[in-house]
Amino acid sequence: MRKTLLFIPLAVLALIILLPFLWTVSTSLKPLTEVNRYPPEWTSPSMSLKPYSDMFFYLPFSRYTLNSLIVASSATMLTLIVGSLAAFAFARFRFRGRKQFLLVLLLSQMLPGASVIIPLFQILKTAGLYDTHIGLILVHTAVLLPFVIWLLHGFFSGIPTEVEDAALIDGCSRLEALRRIILPLALPGLGATALFAFLGSWNEFFFALILTNSDATQTIPVGIGLFVGEFEDVWNQMSAAAVLFSIPPLILFMAMRRTFVRGIAAGALQ
């Protein structure tokens, strides 16, 4: 009885959370005339996959998907590499201003993107990185890095220093101890952090909109926005793009769900 009483509200909550996505799936299968019908209906006899094929016909969505994969994967790897080194330094070394610098990193997450977009735009324009994959990757890395450092700092701090001291006594350097001992022990935390970083870059819209200007570099969130026209909004194709946009993160999460859960549980115990 206790399990039943617990399951019912959780099932209702899960259904409420899934309703917008289910409505998006329903909209992605309807012709545009059915989408604008009032009152709206969940199903229609005219449902088909035509909005999905039209989406690829009117916009280079394959290119947008490739751009998103390149940017999100590269930003995630670069963020993990730099963030691991920085988080390890904060967790193991004691130096003046360490806590204050960590606080500054946390406060930097509270700055809105609009407050830094003008200097970022000027820097990329001057460096010749405007409307390039490299420029957007560097910006995403800079935006994600404080969050990644804070997460990994917690995981590294939870690993006993005696393990690392034993590796140093055996002749390892600090970097070798990090690579051979600390990183394998923190693998669940690295997996959870990588997933958060990938989703942050994959879903990012504001910087991608301002810092890219061609089909060769624009990502999926920017491409979805192009379905909003001056005289007509193509909601069914936009919904189809949103459904496809959700598939890669879902596949990644399902592939890493055990590592993700272990990492979140480990982080909660720090």
Residue in the block written with tokens 């730099």:
82
Q: What are the pLDDT tens digits along the chain (270 aa)? A: 788 888 888 999 999 999 988 998 988 888 888 887 778 788 878 888 888 888 888 788 889 999 999 999 999 999 999 998 888 888 888 878 777 888 888 888 788 888 888 999 999 999 999 999 999 999 999 999 998 988 888 888 877 778 777 877 877 787 788 888 888 888 888 888 888 899 999 999 999 999 998 889 999 999 888 877 655 678 888 888 888 888 888 888 887 777 656 655 554 444
pLDDT at 262: 61
Report how far residue 87's alpha carbon sits from residue 150's, in angstroms, rounded to the nearest whole number. Answer: 7
pLDDT at 263: 54
φ, ψ for residue 233 (rounded to 5)? -105, 120
Residue in the block written with tokens 């094929």:
53
pLDDT at 229: 67
Which amino acid, one-letter code, is at 187?
A: L
Per-residue pLDDT tens digits for 81-139: 999 888 888 888 887 877 788 888 888 878 888 888 899 999 999 999 999 999 999 99
pLDDT at 75: 94
Is the distance from CB of 45 to CB of 37 less than 8 angstroms?
A: no
Residue in the block written with tokens 């989703």:
199
Per-residue pLDDT tens digits for 162-172: 877 787 787 77
pLDDT at 190: 85
Is 0.95 topped by the overall pTM? no
pLDDT at 268: 43
Is the distance from CB of 133 to CB of 67 less than 8 angstroms?
A: yes
From the CB of residue 30, how many other CB atoms can be counted at a distance below 10 Å? 24
Q: What does the block give as tokens for 139?
A: 């910006």
Q: Per residue, what are the HEC states of the chain?
A: CHHHHHHHHHHHHHHHHHHHHHHHHHHHCCCHHHHCCCCCCCCCCCCCCHHHHHHHHHCCHHHHHHHHHHHHHHHHHHHHHHHHHHHHHHHHCCCCCHHHHHHHHHHHCCCCHHHCHHHHHHHHHHHCCCCCHHHHHHHHHHHHHHHHHHHHHHHHHCCCHHHHHHHHHCCCCHHHHHHHHHHHHCHHHHHHHHHHHHHHHHHCCHHHHHHCCCCCCCCHHHHHHCCECCCCECHHHHHHHHHHHHHHHHHHHHHCHHHHHHHHHHHHCC
pLDDT at 135: 93
Which amino acid, one-letter code, is at 27?
A: T
Residue in the block written with tokens 């670069």:
78
From the CB of residue 145, how many other CB atoms can be counted at a distance below 10 Å? 20
pLDDT at 231: 53
Is the distance from CB of 118 to CB of 137 less than 8 angstroms?
A: no
pLDDT at 73: 93
Cα dist from 232 to 23, 84, 190, 221, 237, whole Å: 20, 47, 44, 19, 12
Structural domains of the chain, ranges and CATH numbers in brackets: 1-48 (no CATH), 49-268 (1.10.3720.10)
φ, ψ for residue 228 (rounded to 5)? -85, 110
